[in-house]
Amino acid sequence: MRTGKSTPTVLAAMARGARAGAVASVLSAVVLAGTAGVAQASLSQVQDGFEVSPQGAWVRATGGQASAGFDINQGTARSGANNGWLFATNGWAFEGFWAPTNAAPWYAQCAAQIYVQSAGAAQVGIEVWDGQAHLLASNYPFVGGNGYQPVSTRRWALNGVNPVFVKVIIGNSSGAKFVRADDMTLQCYW
């Protein structure tokens, strides 16, 4: 390829770019190591953003005056093309995903996260269950405002459970609550 510059000049520019890239990589690693807390040796991660057949991959359930569904190619997703949604006026609704954990050893520590966007203030839950209906982790923060916000669990001990059921849930008994959900992630560390 001819650039109009001599080969030594091009090679020198490439070397400067490589050094800058290496410095940026080292700085990124230092920043991540400084903010990540205790260093972990390994990581297993499961993600689902409602992109591949959400009707078949996600379990939906409702009680009372509530509903749950999916926005497919509607331009409302945090990333990708699709997202889930929950609505409740006097009841509850959830969407959940069975996440395999067999890639992690029994002693791993895990945490789950999903991004939610609410129309007004709403209390949204994230829950992680095993197959015998034991609640492993949960968090029920209030969210509101513009854009998607992360809702996460604390770390919890896997204890060999496989798979786990990660769900986003809302409940309401006064007025209407609407929440969109996207980009579920389950991470296990060891």
The pLDDT of residue 104: 97
Report the pLDDT value the prediction gives residue 188, as an integer from 0 to 100: 98
Q: Return mean pLDDT, the chain.
A: 85
Interior/surface letters 47-80, b for 16+ CB within 10 angstroms, e for the rest: ebbbbeebeeebebebeeebebbbbeeeeebbee
User: In terms of domains, do 90 and 1 share one?
Assistant: no
My answer on whether 69 and 109 are in the same domain is: yes
Residues 91 and 133 in one domain: yes
Report the pLDDT value the prediction gives residue 39, as an integer from 0 to 100: 60
Domain region containing 30: 1-39
Mean pLDDT of 110-120: 96
Structural domain count of the chain? 2
- pLDDT at residue number 175: 85
Q: What is the pLDDT of residues 70-99, one digit of tens each?
A: 999 999 999 999 999 999 999 999 999 999
Contact 142, 122 (CB under 8 A): yes
> Mean per-residue pLDDT for 1-13?
42
In a shared domain, residues 30 and 59: no
3-class secondary-structure state, position 23 = helix
Burial class of residue 176, CB neighbours in 10 A (0-12, 13-18, 19+): middle
16 and 77, same domain (yes or no): no
Hey, which bits of 73-153 come out as E strands? 82-99, 109-118, 122-129, 135-139, 142-143, 149-152
Between 119 and 185, residue with greater pLDDT: 185
pLDDT tens-digit series, residues 19-61:
444 333 333 333 334 445 556 479 999 999 999 999 999 999 9
50 and 114 co-located in one domain: yes
Same-domain status, 27 and 1: yes
Domain harbouring 95, CATH code: 2.60.120.260
Whether residue 169 sits in one domain with residue 138: yes
Dist CA 165 CA 114 (whole Å): 13
Whether residues 152 and 174 fall in one domain = yes
**Do 20 and 96 have their domain in common?**
no
